[in-house]
Amino acid sequence: MAKTPVAAEAVFQHAECFYQAFAALRSLSPDPRENMHGAITLVEPLIVLASLTSELFLKCLICIETGDTPREHNLKELFDQLSEGTRARIQRFWDREVAARKREEWDNLEKFGLKMPRDLPSALAKGSNAFIRYRYSYEGNTEGLHYYLEELPALLQKLILEMNPNLESCRRAPLPLLGVSYH
């Protein structure tokens, strides 16, 4: 049976739903220094939502470039399916907007022995299966799993809208949750 083609607009709208849920939950997530229990309770749901949102935005980019929507979940493999130019743009955004801003935080984590590769392909390789593995963390399969791609959905959304400004009309209106805005 042939796969039914999916429009980039549909993938983008779907991604926007998860992005909005991620942004709302993230805004409600307490600072671990103030509420460790709350922060720990929300960390895995936040990772799953961020990873799924990134997956969907990567699939949207692939759909924009090729007209195809892959079925896999691995973030690194999806990233690798993008054209060299798109990968380079994402990497530049990552270097300028994420790695530069997070440098001090990552430096502090490395003091505790956690290796934080700063380039996006390495970060994607480390967290590429987070969506699958964190959903089943109760099985104890999180050894060696690190996820620090929580800034990736916003970066991918920005690039999608630069590449295809018409998708701006597909964005969902923010939910009126405690004044949370993800735009």
Tens of pLDDT along 75-132? Answer: 999 999 999 999 999 999 999 999 889 888 888 878 888 777 788 998 898 888 777 7
Q: What CATH number does residue 145 fall under?
A: 1.20.120
Position 90 scores a pLDDT of 96
Alpha carbons within 13 angstroms on the beta-carbon side of residue 62 total 22
Classified as helix, coil or strand, 55 is: helix
- Measure Cα distances from 50 to 1, 3, 110, 165 in Å: 32, 27, 22, 23
Q: At what angle are helices 120-127 and 84-93 packed, to 10 degrees?
A: 90
Confidence at residue 34, expressed as pLDDT on a 0 to 100 scale: 84
Asked if the structure places residue 88 within a domain, the reply is: yes
Any domain includes 53: yes
d(Cα 51, Cα 35) in Å, to the nearest integer? 24
Q: Is residue 31 part of a domain?
A: yes
Per-residue confidence band for 179, with pLDDT thresholds at 50, 70 and 90: low
Domain count of the fold of the chain:
1
Residue 3 lies in a domain: no
Whether residue 18 lies inside any domain: the answer is yes
CB atoms inside a 10 Å sphere around CB 57: 27
22: pLDDT strictly greater than 80:
yes
Q: Is the pLDDT of residue 32 over 80?
A: no
Reported as a single tens digit per residue, the pLDDT across 111-120 is 888 777 788 9
pLDDT band at 183 (very low <50, low <70, confident <90, very high): low
In a domain, 129, yes or no: yes
Entry pTM: 0.88
Average pLDDT across the chain, whole number: 85
178 falls within a domain = no
Q: Supply the range of the domain harboring residue 53.
A: 8-169
- The answer to the question of residue 174 being in a domain is no
